[in-house]
Copies of this chain bind each other. A is one copy, B any other.
Amino acid sequence: MISEYLKNKQVMIENALHECLPEINTRPFVLHKAMHYCVLNGGKRIRPILCIAVAEVCGNSHALLPALSTELYHCSTLVHDDLPCMDDDDLRRGIPSCHIKFGSANAILTGDALLIHAFQILAETGEPRLTLELAQAAGSRGVVAGQVEDLAAAGQEPNADLLDFIHVHKTAILIRAAVRMGAILGNADEQDLKYFTLFGEKIGLAFQIEDDILDETSSEEVLGKPVGSDQEKNKLTYPAVHGMEAARSAAARLTHEALVALEAIDRDTSVLEGIATYLVNRQY
Q: Is A122 an interface residue (CB 8 A)?
A: yes
Q: A282 within 8 Å of B by Cβ?
A: no
Q: Is residue A151 within 8 Å, beta carbon to beta carbon, of the partner chain?
A: yes
Kindly state whether residue A152 has any CB partner on chain B within 8 Å. Answer: yes
Cβ of A12 within 8 Å of any chain B Cβ, yes or no, is no
Q: CA–CA, A22 to B278, complex, Å?
A: 37
Residue of B nearest to A29 (CB): B148
Q: What is the interface residue range for chain A against chain B? A: 35 or more
Given contacts A116-B115, A128-B128, contact A31 B148 (CB under 8 A): yes
- Total copies of the chain: 2
Q: How far is the CA of A103 from the CA of B122 in the complex (A)?
A: 32
Q: Tell me whether A44 is interfacial, beta carbon within 8 Å.
A: no
Q: Determine if A258 is an interface residue (Cβ-Cβ < 8 Å).
A: no
Contact flag A28-B116 (CB < 8 Å), given A131-B123, A151-B105: no
Q: Is B108 a contact partner of A145 (Cβ separation < 8 A)?
A: no
On whether A132 and B140 interact (CB within 8 A), knowing A104-B85, A112-B115, the answer reads no
Residue of B nearest to A133 (CB): B123
What B residues does A103 contact at CB under 8 A?
85
Partner pick for A152 among B30, B128, B140, CB 8 A cutoff: B30
Residue contact A112 to B80, C-beta cutoff 8 Å: yes
22-36 of chain A: CB within 8 A of chain B: 22, 26-28, 30-32, 35
Beyond A83-B108, A106-B148, A111-B112, 14 additional pairs, beta carbon < 8 A: A27-B145, A30-B152, A35-B140, A80-B108, A80-B112, A85-B104, A109-B144, A116-B140, A119-B131, A119-B135, A120-B135, A123-B128, A127-B128, A128-B131
Interfacial residues, chain A to chain B (CB-CB below 8 A): 22, 26-28, 30-32, 35, 76-77, 80, 83, 85-86, 103-106, 108-109, 111-113, 115-117, 119-120, 122-129, 131-132, 134-136, 138-141, 144-145, 147-149, 151-152, 165
